[in-house]
Amino acid sequence: MVTAWATLKRNWLVTRRAYPWSYFIGTLGPGIFTVVVALLSYRAIGGGRVSAWFGASSGTSDYLGYVTVGAAALMFTTRMVLWVAKAQITEQREGTLESQMLTPAMRLPYLLGVAAQAFITSILELCCLLGTALLLGVRLPVPDPVSFAAAILAAFVAVFGLSIPISAIMISAGEAHITQNTLFCVVGLLCGFTFPAALLPAPLTFLGELLPATAAMRVLRAATLHAAPIQQVTGDLLICLALGCLYAAVGLLVLPHAERRAITRGASA
């Protein structure tokens, strides 16, 4: 864990000295926009009420709470992916990938260090979004602390796991923007962040279930909107953890190949 701690400390120092404001605004902006648009449509178009089908498919009639939790989770996902999945390609762009690969340090603790710093930063940023939502009049119930903590852990594992194969794809392809934006579109559409995934056609719902963020989203909503006890979310929690670990394992398996491909591309260029 020496590598994880050292990487957390390194990233903390770097972030403190050069905080990426453009990323922050780029992710906070859409989050606030989503909440504001939902608020306006709820009040101006829906007259402060939701239809029966929304309640049936989402399991709640608190539309604003539903959207706010979803927007916050999407922001968390986006920020974590931007930190963790882009860690290796950033090393490559800054010229430090080789010095990193020369060391005997393992990739998992290195990425955990990056993720730990990303988690702390993302939570602070999430507070900005939730604070803005509160100012706009959104009210969330007090969650069950155990299931809320479990939901946060599940979301962390889900996004961390998802980020590792994405990191391998980015470094292997030598680009980040197309990969990250494709991922954001896919998770935004399939994982039920801002609308119930049940509204999607069956094949897309199935694809959404293959992504760990979908189960994480259900756990988060159950914990925050329904104050569900841990027993009620155990099933989704396990799915989320299993899928997150599976993605992480696949990612860690392919990452060394992707890194060598990146070095080879540099060497043969």
Partner 1 sequence: MMRAIATDDLRKTYPVVERPWWKPGKPLRAAPAVDGLSLRIPAGQVTGLLGLNGAGKTTTIRMLATLLRPTSGRATVDDLDLVKDAREVRRRINMIAGGERMVYTRLTGRENLWYFGQLYDVPKAQLKARIAELLALVGLEHAADQRVERYSKGMRQRLSIARGLINRPAYLLLDEPTLGLDAPIARDLRAVVADLARDGVGVLLTSHYLAEVEQLCADIYVIAAGRLVAQGTPAELTTMAERQHTVEVSLAAAVDDVDHAVETLAMRTGAQITTGVDDDLRPRYTLRHSADLAGELATTIVTAGGAIARLEVTPPTLEDAIIALADAARQPSAVAS
Contact residues: partner 1, CB under 8 A: 2-3, 5-7, 9-10, 13-14, 17-18, 94-96, 98-105, 260, 263-264, 267-268
**CA dihedral for 59, 61, 65, 67, sign (positive or negative):** positive
Distance CA 158, CA 241 (A): 7
Considering beta carbons, is residue 105 or 128 the nearer one to partner 1?
105
Q: How far is the CB of 269 from partner 1 (least distance, A)?
A: 10
Distance CA 180, CA 86 (A): 9
Residues 221-224: contacts with CB under 8 Å, at least 24 apart: 221/59, 221/60, 221/66, 221/69, 221/70, 222/147, 222/151, 223/143, 223/144, 223/147, 223/148, 223/150, 223/151, 224/65, 224/69, 224/140, 224/141, 224/143, 224/148, 224/151
Backbone angles phi, psi at 28, to 5 degrees: -70, -40
Q: How far is the CB of 180 from partner 1 (least distance, A)?
A: 22
Considering beta carbons, is residue 18 or 142 the nearer one to partner 1?
18
State whether residue 59 is helix, strand or coil: coil
Q: How far is the CB of 95 from partner 1 (least distance, A)?
A: 3
Q: How far is the CB of 105 from partner 1 (least distance, A)?
A: 4
Considering beta carbons, is residue 75 or 262 the nearer one to partner 1?
262
Q: How far is the CB of 8 from partner 1 (least distance, A)?
A: 11
Q: How far is the CB of 66 from partner 1 (least distance, A)?
A: 40
Q: How far is the CB of 253 from partner 1 (least distance, A)?
A: 15
Burial of 95 (0-12, 13-18, 19+ CB in 10 A): exposed
Considering beta carbons, is residue 15 or 232 the nearer one to partner 1?
15
Considering beta carbons, is residue 98 or 175 the nearer one to partner 1?
98
Distance CA 228, CA 184 (A): 28
Considering beta carbons, is residue 18 or 202 the nearer one to partner 1?
18
State whether residue 60 is helix, strand or coil: coil
Structure tokens at 150: 């479990």
> For 215-246, what is the HEC assignment?
HHHHHHHHHHHCCCCHHHHHHHHHHHHHHHHH
Considering beta carbons, is residue 117 or 214 the nearer one to partner 1?
117
Q: How many residues does the chain have?
A: 269
